[in-house]
């Protein structure tokens, strides 16, 4: 299934310091937290973005997905070859820098995420004149029991992407 969304990411002047932004990192090694960085990496490599919408400090199913899929070598090897990883966190007990909180909310609304974990595979393009992203979504999933099952599901989405479906 392929469809396009238009996402307007507002450029906000963050009240937090750049140093605070620099210390904010993903829960899992190798994941980016900034959609602009993910976009740049995607453009450089030609790989789509795999975005994990998570509640890292409160969502039980999100924690299970990390333990059953994201920390395994099979997933990490697959991800290195196929996608740019983006973590979009919605924590309850820790405070995100304001610009990431707004970025994550904007993406949550664009993808109509209603529950966690939700994992989307998509491509971005950027309109240079107005800094808007255009999203071509290739599919989504939620909790998956194993890395093998997860990567097989993603491979199916990737093959549809590559065939233009």
Residue 85 maps to which CATH number? 3.40.30.10
Domain count, the chain: 1
pLDDT at 27: 86
Strands 3-7 and 84-89: unpaired
Report how far residue 91's alpha carbon sits from residue 37's, in angstroms, rounded to the nearest whole number: 21
Q: CB–CB of 119/50 below 8 Å?
A: yes
Angle between helices 73-82 and 147-163 in degrees, nearest 10? 10
For residue 101, what are the domain limits?
Answer: 3-8+16-163
The 8-class DSSP code of residue 117 comes to S
* From 19-23, 32-36, 154-158, 160-164, the region with the lowest mean pLDDT: 19-23
- Over residues 108-159, the pLDDT tens digits come to 999 999 999 999 999 999 877 777 899 999 999 999 999 999 999 999 999 9
């Amino acid at each position: 299934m392929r469809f396009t969304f238009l996402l307007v990411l507002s450029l906000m002047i963050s009240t937090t310091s750049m140093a605070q932004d620099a210390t904010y990192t993903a829960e899992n090694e190798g994941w980016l937290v900034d959609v602009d960085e993910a976009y740049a990496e995607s453009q450089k490599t030609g790989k789509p973005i795999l975005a994990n919408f998570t509640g890292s400090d409160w969502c039980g199913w999100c924690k299970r997905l990390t333990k059953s899929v994201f920390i395994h070598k099979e997933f990490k090897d697959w991800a290195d070859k196929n996608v740019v990883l983006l973590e979009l966190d919605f924590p309850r007990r820790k405070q995100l820098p304001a610009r990431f909180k707004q970025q994550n909310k904007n993406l949550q609304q664009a993808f109509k995420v209603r529950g966690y974990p939700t994992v989307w595979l998509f491509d971005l393009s950027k309109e240079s004149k107005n800094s808007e992203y255009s999203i071509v979504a290739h599919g989504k999933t939620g909790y998956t029991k194993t890395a093998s099952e997860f990567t097989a599901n993603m491979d199916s989405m990737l093959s549809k992407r590559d065939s233009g479906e």
